[in-house]
A and B are shown apart, each in its own frame.
Chain A
């Protein structure tokens, strides 16, 4: 609704009444920010994610100062003092120590006598790092392909769409393990690009790759729609070249979609990494992630469930935080504002 008091033709005949406020123009970003701020739940979960990241980044602190052990240090035959009594880190029958209020092995030990809390924090760094880096790869490729396909249409669109459909024809996990196992022995070599098999960039690349169609197709769709709008026509009439148009006209309008997808993509990536690592096609030793920890704990599910519960809970919390926050972002950035229900 146009603001009251805005007179397009000449001077107002009478002074405008004091009760009519001048309405300031506010950018859609500011409005979105306000909407997001009102969503306490989403903000809360966003903060939770930050807290988890900080927690994982603090791994070296905990490792040096509290637990006094590294993530890969075995303590198979060691004993620690709990409540005055000496207890085996790994009991003679093979069952490792469970969680408890002791500085060392706060969350217990695993089969090899390693400190679960320390591994959790270091593993978290790996999992989150992979999730975020893969999201960058996916986003970059998806935006580039979506822009090219949507803007040029014609045969570039045909080719790109066919390729995207082809990738998407594979179930994500299946494609992931296919790539993961094929590249397990010698790593990757395509032309000048060479990545060794134990590098984290193998799972990062795989996860980044498999989700490209998931993001690229909606972006392509939006570009196709945006392309028909008058401001693009105007830019073409002004003589702007295609690359400039993509950067200055199309991309700014895609930013809200990209932000939301990026956030939710990190969540998907972390779940996929966990699944791949669990099966053995993801992160490989000596690296550890939450997924490999669950894999390690599988045999001891009945006797030492904490090995499975703890890393799993961390994944759930992190992914949930991202999902709730991403949802809140989507609602805030969506111009179809929901009507408030409180009245």
Chain B
């Protein structure tokens, strides 16, 4: 159970101490190394971090998609009375696509090119419900229309290559929602699309969340996307969550130096342009042999002796019960250190 939701409404999905390791010929990669969080009903939870931090692996593990002969998964993902980590393949199949659905990053390659779009939606419907072809097809048409695909009645017979990128992603979302799941996991849904389409997809997700109470886990490396739609945010780094809080808390009162770095690297229209593009020095650590202690230590200009010990993800502020982080610094120091050139950022070493 996450430290921040004890005492709140019953979470829809609960991840507890999730570890995912892959055996490769170079060694064991610790892709997810102790992740815990809750998803509340009807919320949009943003999961943000740079490439390789483990956010996609976390999401895919929740659906059991990382099960392989070379993967080791421990911990639990509790949903609807089942633990998805230990659930059998048959149990997972009933949950996937029906209670929990996922859309992926690249709509170009996420649809099978040799089958019609409508047929792929029908396939999903019929895998879970005994519905005949005509009824399923009608439902497919409705679904495509509901996500804003023009001419849905004819489009249902088209092949994926006849759809544009944005339309394909809408079709993916339509397919994901065919059986009215309770949770939608969207893994970088807009990264492969251009900005105008991105806005449309986000608006669609927001509408679905508001109209149907659909809970969404939105994974992205783009803070702008998070700022648009997320209710709560998890910041991941090197296979762990380093900060957790509401959207306002993360953006206006971030407690972890990595988050400061992320905020600082955003260019903002309401401020004068910086001389140099701000960046976080160094590079993400190898997940084969992550640093001991705080994983951000090698890149953190504010590290001190205590950082040799890995901080727990804890609430450290007295007035924000839902805001947790993994940084030993005193909250008063944090307020001071994160001010760089008049805004929140990470000081670049001289």
Contacts and interface: CB of A to CB of B under 8 A. Distances in A.
Given A340-B23, A340-B24, A340-B25, A5 B349 contact: no
B287 interface: yes
A282 to B, nearest CB: 43
B293 interface: yes
Interface in A1-29: 1-14, 16-17, 19-21, 23
Contacts of B348: 9
A16 B287 CA distance: 16
B297 A14 contact: yes
Given A2-B284, A339-B23, A343-B70, 14 more contacts: A1-B286, A1-B287, A4-B286, A6-B282, A7-B281, A8-B283, A9-B349, A11-B349, A13-B301, A16-B298, A17-B291, A19-B291, A20-B289, A21-B289
Contacts of B293: 17
A19 B289 contact: yes
A341 interface: yes
A14 B281 CA distance: 13
A341 B301 contact: no
A8 B348 CA distance: 12
Interface string B293-304: 100011011010
A4 B291 contact: yes
A12 B298 CA distance: 8
Given A3-B286, A6-B283, A343 B298 contact: no
A5 B22 CA distance: 23
Given A5-B298, A17-B298, A339 B22 contact: yes
Contacts of A19: 289, 291-292
Interface string B35-54: 00000000000000000100
Interface in B9-24: 22-24
A7 B285 CA distance: 11
B72 interface: yes
Contacts of A2: 283-284, 286
A10 B281 contact: yes
A280 to B, nearest CB: 48
Given A8-B281, A10-B281, A343-B70, A20 B23 contact: no
Interface residues of B, number: 32
Interface residues on A, range: 20 to 34
B349 A13 contact: yes
A2 B68 CA distance: 26
Contact of A20 (B69, B291, B300): B291
Nearest to A340: B25
B350 interface: yes
A229 B37 CA distance: 44
Nearest to A19: B292
A38 B25 CA distance: 10
Interface string A302-343: 000000000000000000000000000000000001111111
Interface string B333-350: 000000000000000111
Contacts of A3: 283, 286
A11 B303 CA distance: 15
Given A11-B349, A343-B72, A4 B289 contact: yes
8 contacts: A1-B286, A9-B279, A10-B349, A17-B297, A19-B289, A20-B298, A35-B25, A339-B23
A71 to B, nearest CB: 48
Interface of B: 22-25, 28, 52, 68-70, 72, 279, 281-289, 291-293, 297-298, 300-301, 303, 308, 348-350
Contacts of A340: 23-25, 70
Contacts of A343: 23, 28, 69-70, 72
A16 to B, nearest CB: 6
A343 to B, nearest CB: 4
Contacts of A20: 285, 289, 291, 298
Contacts of B282: 6-9, 12
Q: Which 10 A-B pairs have the closest CB atoms?
A: A343-B23, A2-B283, A9-B281, A13-B349, A4-B285, A339-B70, A340-B25, A13-B301, A1-B286, A19-B292
A10 B276 CA distance: 15
A339 B300 CA distance: 33
A13 B292 CA distance: 17
A11 B349 CA distance: 8
Contacts of A337: 24-25
Contacts of A341: 23, 69-70
Contacts of A1: 52, 284, 286-288
Nearest to B307: A14
Contacts of B72: 343
Interface string A186-204: 0000000000000000000
B303 A14 contact: yes
A252 B70 CA distance: 34
A11 B284 CA distance: 16
A85 B214 CA distance: 95
B286 A10 contact: no
A116 to B, nearest CB: 46
Contacts of B289: 4, 19-21
Contacts of A6: 282-283
Nearest to B282: A7
A14 to B, nearest CB: 5
Contacts of B303: 13-14
A76 to B, nearest CB: 60
A20 B298 CA distance: 10
B304 to A, nearest CB: 9
Interface string A110-122: 0000000000000
Nearest to B280: A9
B60 to A, nearest CB: 16
A107 B348 CA distance: 80
